[in-house]
Amino acid sequence: MPSPFRIEPFDKKRHGRDRFDCGQPMLNNYIQHQVSADIRRNLARCYAAVHEDEPARLAGYYTLSAYSVEAGGLPEELEKLPYPEIPSVLIGRLACCRTFRGMGLGKALVVDALKRAVAMHDHLGIHLVVVDRLGEDVVEFYAKFGFEETENGQLILPVKTVKASMRS
Ligand SMILES: CC(C)(COP(=O)(O)OP(=O)(O)OC[C@H]1O[C@@H](n2cnc3c(N)ncnc32)[C@H](O)[C@@H]1OP(=O)(O)O)[C@@H](O)C(=O)NCCC(=O)NCCS
């Protein structure tokens, strides 16, 4: 069945945020008050999901930023890389409005973020996709996409693994 959600670059004039509530005040506050400043200062890019029946209402969002992860504390094969920091892309924040939970929106947001990471890595060295564990316990949710938890609690997924899963 095709997804009822469309994901596009966040636009404060088109994506109504007033009713957005993901249950996590910090993630609500971010999309309502902080995201535009982050975009303007080139600290993050934000992607918004809307449902086909309510195209002017924000259903979910995620942000992407350039990032680097200290190699110490990563799984052994990554620690062997010849740099102390590993170039990465960060899914900084990701949230779905409670109205749209359990409809595959969270999954659609993660898949969209991974596709963008793969597209970017053709132009820029990116070894890992990293998730900051904000909000509720999402280790199991991200494990569905192959993310593994590191010693310091971040969730990581090598871009080469994403590419391989997209081919199969
Ligand atoms: C976590 C979150 C993004 C999931 O969104 P969602 O739209 O309900 O998820 P989906 O409907 O796409 O679910 C996809 C799969 O993940 C599972 N899942 C959903 N939330 C989960 C959770 N918290 N833990 C484990 N699995 C979860 C679903 O059961 C489903 O499994 P299936 O594919 O086997 O059927 C959403 O609950 C949310 O926005 N939470 C608050 C904000 C937050 O904590 N964000 C994380 C910060 S990075």
Candidate of 96, 103, 112, 149 to mutate for ligand 1, largest count of ligand atoms within 8 Å of Cβ? 96
Q: Using CA positions, which residue lies closest to atom 19 of ligand 1? A: 141
Question: For 107-121, what is the mean pLDDT?
Answer: 97
pLDDT of 26-72, one tens digit each?
Answer: 999 999 999 999 999 999 999 999 999 999 999 999 999 999 999 98
Q: How much is the pTM?
A: 0.96
- DSSP notation for 85-98: EEEEEEEEEEEE-G
Residues near 158 by Cβ (< 8 Å), separated by ≥ 6? 78, 127, 128, 129
SS3 of residue 153 by DSSP: coil
Domains, in order of start, for the chain: 5-167 (3.40.630.30)
pLDDT of 85 > 90? The answer is: yes
Candidate of 29, 99, 136, 147 to mutate for ligand 1, largest count of ligand atoms within 8 Å of Cβ? 136
